[in-house]
Structure 1
Amino acid sequence: MLIEQAKMSADFRIEKDSMGDRQIPNDAYYGIQTLRATENFPISGLKPLPTYVDACVLIKKATAIANSELGCIPENLATAIVQACDEVLQGRLRDQFIVDVYQAGAGTSHHMNINEVLANRALELLGGEKGDYKTVSPNDHVNYGQSTNDVIPTAIRIGALLALEHCLYPALSEAIATLDNKAAEFAHIVKSGRTHMQDAVPVRLGEGFRAWAEILTAHLGRIETAAKDLTILGLGGSASGTGLNTHPQYRFRVAEILSELIGQPLTSAPHLMAAMQSMAPFVNVSGSLRNLAQDLVKISHDLRLMDSGPNTGFKEIQLPPVQPGSSIMPGKYNPVMAEMTSMVCFQVMGYDTAIAFAAQAGQLELNVMMPLIAYDLIHSIEILGNTIKALSEKCLAGITANKERCHNYAESSLSLVTALNTHIGYLNAADVAKESLQTGKTLRQIVLERGLMDEATLAQVLDLEKMSQLPD
């Protein structure tokens, strides 16, 4: 019995909170509140996103520096906390952030997980033992002047800004450049246009790719505009926006330090209570992501249509094959990158709906649905960025054109008859189109047989290059 007790004391430490004592594994950097959360919320197995952890730890680093400068916590404790933050930001202790995404309202469980890990690592750096919170406290030192209620909405802002800067913006820029390159490559290839999934007047293949580049460029601008709201922080509002237990200069100084840490201009909100209550900035950014996702679905579906075949579809372009497409049909290749893009976009649209519901579900001084918003928003940004990067590199960059097939479709399109309207009249043109459809003869043949135009004039009117040229 004594041996077992000694072994237990060697393997575990005792931590205490307002609800009592619990055994914590000695090698764990999390503490008692994290343990309770893991027991209470065995929901999804999803853990906090690394970018979200980074955002929270950056806040803790900035607050430790600010509170030390303002004389609110001892300098040696702040130094240890900052060092612990730097270690986490460099990739250490990542397995210690273990609270399920679906957890206590407002994100208190995840917040305390962050506080406990940083406090225990700071204790070690100071030569102490994990769990000796009289020396470095998760609440009194790491969390000095803070509340879940102002830290978590700030972490969502910082996490989203980081994800946009490091993931989505570069991917969108790369895709735009790739589409512009393809537009130049395919500039003189004429193909049949299609509206209502029916033949339409000719267009240039290259201009279709340029249109997509313009669409993505516009979305990039919309997202950047929406993201400006994320730079206004409610940090310093403490529990309900009044700034209780904070130094008068704290909120301004911490915004300055965070600006330096992430390399983006951040400011303290003019009204901290408003910044804590409203989730509108997150809804705005999410809405811009949904808007992008909807156009990406359309582009990915267009790519699949244009590549359909090889013998029974359009096959105007060839998407690069990246893996075998069937477990039973040999030699089959599928447009898997475009398919994946649509699936991710559907998920982003679903996240946007969830974010909208969560954003309106707050009451009085707090929105308790922030853990859902944090995960869904940052995850949306990152999976969209990763998707666009993969689509650009493994699909768009390697597209080739089937020039002959494009030309044949354009030449055989009944919609060429549109160009004849002003020369032979709408009714004559309609009769020509009807005969072409019934007999299989080309429009050119029928017009010449009927003597409606001479050959030289007809060649000028049905000049595919000229017809498909965009106006200056």
Structure 2
Amino acid sequence: MSSTRIERDAFGPVEIPADRYWGAQTQRALGVFDIGEERFPASLIHAFGLQKMAAARANMRCGALDAALADAIISAAGELRDGGFDAHFPLTIWQTGSGTQTNMNANEVIANRANELLGQPLGTKSPVHPNDHVNASQSSNDSFPTVMHIVTVLELAQRLKPSLALLRDSLQEKAEAFEDVLKIARTHLMDAVPMTMGRVFDTFARQVAHGIDRIDAAMPRLLSLPQGGTAAGTGLNAPPGFDALFCEELRALTGHAFTPNPSKFEGMAAHDALVEASGALNVIATSLIKIANDVRWLGSGPRCGLGELKIPDDGLTSSIMPGKRNPTIAEVLAQACMQVVGNHAVVTMANASGNFELNVAKPVLIANLLQSIRVLADASRVFATGLVQGVEVEEARLAANVANSLLLATALNPVLGYDKVASITAEAVAKGITPREAALSLGLIDGETYDRIVDARKMAGR
């Protein structure tokens, strides 16, 4: 048996590996775009399966596609959605800015599989043709951005939001567990007034919760689809009502409330909704970097650092210092978030690079956005389960810090005034004594009054 087969397109014959389901246009693109190794994640390929299923169903309802052909296309596209053809998408993201090559890759794989289901060999283009039937009522110009929206919605809803919810809940559990544990706050990296460790973790939990809210706020624009715009947003060759039927079928397939974009021109020429979503991820990334850094600083030590938190052991150590434990999970979360911040810059520039009626940087835009979703989701989950859920407080260290804090004397301001309290802290620093000892040695207040006013727990609002 030959290891290759011949397929033909408008430009002539093309030799294709015999066991591959892609066709002539994909094979030609492999030769033209020999750039890089970065490929779309499987989630985007699966979203193409959903898009082609919904299109075939809508075409059948519009009378634009014979039922027998539509059924074969729907079956083949369903296999694509379920991951059956991931290995048959060989192109990198470095292709034409409309994503045409990956759309054609999907059309060819589905057409070949549909024909196979109908008893025909690969490469026949009959009875199912990749352009005439699988791509019926569509263009790459509206199908690829529609897939961009579909995959973003699904990945945000199914991958990122559950991970962030897990992290939020894990942080909130620690906020409640540490509710009454006193510590010294720090501003400008320096000692400040008393607070509780519970408030630290409550702040973290609220940051993550606001991140989830930002994702939800971006969803309405993501659910609006340009499908039906075909060439330049005009709707050429799409039957009337195709866009509404497409969204109806897609809602049935996904459970998400997709609707037709009333301006297909806007949905194809610009991808502001995707930049908005990336912006939400950018905010989340900065929140998580702050959280990761605070946790690893608070856990620094164990003997010569701040040592206020006890970071759970991850089983990893130094290559030279036996038994050394490092906050590796916090570090990897920070690195993942740095990638997201960089990706947002690419997404921003990609969206700004459209020309007239078509954005022509779609592949790099969606590839970076999907990577951001993926690494944020995975890193958040690992941070929640591998670090936050096991973190403990070093109560003895915290108590010693509170007892030795200079700024406890701040509570005396209403009684003694700022200048006299400043002399107390200066005396304490100069002589290496506690502020209580300094206040008494200066004769500014008696011990009983000092103890009544300077109560760390009350100062922390407990």
How would you bin the TM-score normalised by the shorter chain?
over 0.9
Query: How far off is 1:448 after superposition?
Result: 2.1
Structure 2 SS opposite 1:149: helix
Q: Greater shift after overlay, 416-425 or 57-66?
A: 416-425
Number of the residue aligned with 1:3: none
Query: How far off is 1:90 after superposition?
Result: 2.3
Query: How far off is 1:456 after superposition?
Result: 2.3
The separation in 1 between residues aligned to 2:270 and 2:97, in whole angstroms, is 15
Cα offsets for 1:288-326 (capped at 9, x unmatched): 110111111111110110011111110100111213231
Q: Which amino acid aligns with 2:374?
A: E
Give the conservation status (yes or no) of the 8 Å contact 1:187–1:206.
yes
The separation in 2 between residues aligned to 1:177 and 1:105, in whole angstroms, is 40
Query: How far off is 1:11 after superposition?
Result: 2.3
Structure 2 SS opposite 1:406: helix
Number of the residue aligned with 1:198: 190
Number of the residue aligned with 1:446: 438
Q: Greater shift after overlay, 412-421 or 356-365?
A: 412-421
Give the conservation status (yes or no) of the 8 Å contact 1:149–1:276.
yes
Partner of residue 380 from structure 2, selected from 384, 388, 399: 388
Number of the residue aligned with 2:46: 54
Query: How far off is 1:206 after superposition?
Result: 0.6
Number of the residue aligned with 2:130: 138
Task: Give the gaps of 5 or more residues in structure 1.
Answer: 1-6
Query: How far off is 1:450 after superposition?
Result: 2.7
Structure 2 SS opposite 1:106: coil
Partner of residue 279 from structure 1, selected from 265, 271, 274: 271
The separation in 1 between residues aligned to 2:353 and 2:78, in whole angstroms, is 35
Alignment pair present for 1:162 and 2:154 = yes
Equivalent runs, 1:406-417 vs 2, <5 Å:
406-417=398-409
Partner of residue 418 from structure 2, selected from 426, 432, 439: 426
Alignment pair present for 1:437 and 2:423 = no
The separation in 1 between residues aligned to 2:341 and 2:414, in whole angstroms, is 46
Partner of residue 100 from structure 1, selected from 89, 92, 101: 92
Number of the residue aligned with 1:4: none
The separation in 2 between residues aligned to 1:205 and 1:336, in whole angstroms, is 22
- Sequence identity percentage: 37
Number of the residue aligned with 2:169: 177
Q: Which amino acid aligns with 1:326?
A: S
Number of the residue aligned with 1:31: 23
The separation in 2 between residues aligned to 1:342 and 1:37, in whole angstroms, is 37
Q: Which amino acid aligns with 2:357?
A: E
Question: Structure 1-normalised TM-score?
Answer: 0.96
Structure 2 SS opposite 1:119: helix
Number of the residue aligned with 2:11: 19
Query: How far off is 1:454 after superposition?
Result: 2.4
The separation in 1 between residues aligned to 2:306 and 2:329, in whole angstroms, is 18
The separation in 1 between residues aligned to 2:444 and 2:369, in whole angstroms, is 62
Partner of residue 74 from structure 1, selected from 34, 44, 66: 66
Query: How far off is 1:150 after superposition?
Result: 0.3
Structure 2 SS opposite 1:184: helix
Number of the residue aligned with 2:206: 214
Cα offsets for 1:151-192 (capped at 9, x unmatched): 111111101001011111101111111111101111111111
Equivalent runs, 1:182-261 vs 2, <5 Å:
182-261=174-253
Number of the residue aligned with 1:45: 37
Partner of residue 378 from structure 1, selected from 355, 370, 376: 370
Give the conservation status (yes or no) of the 8 Å contact 1:48–1:98.
no
Q: Greater shift after overlay, 88-97 or 202-211?
A: 88-97
The separation in 2 between residues aligned to 1:56 and 1:411, in whole angstroms, is 62
Query: How far off is 1:460 after superposition?
Result: 2.1
Q: Which amino acid aligns with 1:126?
A: L
Structure 1 SS opposite 2:7: strand
Q: Greater shift after overlay, 34-43 or 262-271?
A: 34-43
Give the conservation status (yes or no) of the 8 Å contact 2:405–2:434.
no
Query: How far off is 1:149 after superposition?
Result: 0.4
Give the conservation status (yes or no) of the 8 Å contact 2:313–2:325.
yes
Give the conservation status (yes or no) of the 8 Å contact 2:58–2:242.
yes
Alignment pair present for 1:469 and 2:425 = no
The separation in 2 between residues aligned to 1:316 and 1:42, in whole angstroms, is 53
Q: Which amino acid aligns with 1:441?
A: I
The separation in 2 between residues aligned to 1:349 and 1:59, in whole angstroms, is 30
Query: How far off is 1:134 after superposition?
Result: 3.1
Structure 2 SS opposite 1:105: coil
Structure 1 SS opposite 2:99: helix
Q: Which amino acid aligns with 2:42?
A: P
The separation in 2 between residues aligned to 1:434 and 1:304, in whole angstroms, is 31
The separation in 1 between residues aligned to 2:219 and 2:91, in whole angstroms, is 28
Q: Which amino acid aligns with 2:419?
A: L
Give the conservation status (yes or no) of the 8 Å contact 2:115–2:126.
no
The separation in 2 between residues aligned to 1:335 and 1:248, in whole angstroms, is 59
Query: How far off is 1:400 after superposition?
Result: 0.5
Structure 2 SS opposite 1:144: coil
Alignment pair present for 1:397 and 2:385 = no
Cα offsets for 1:247-277 (capped at 9, x unmatched): 1011110011111111111111111111111
Query: How far off is 1:16 after superposition?
Result: 1.1
Measured on the aligned residues, the alpha-carbon RMSD in Å equals 1.1
Alignment pair present for 1:315 and 2:311 = no
The separation in 1 between residues aligned to 2:452 and 2:252, in whole angstroms, is 63
Cα offsets for 1:391-430 (capped at 9, x unmatched): 1010110000001101111221211121111122211111
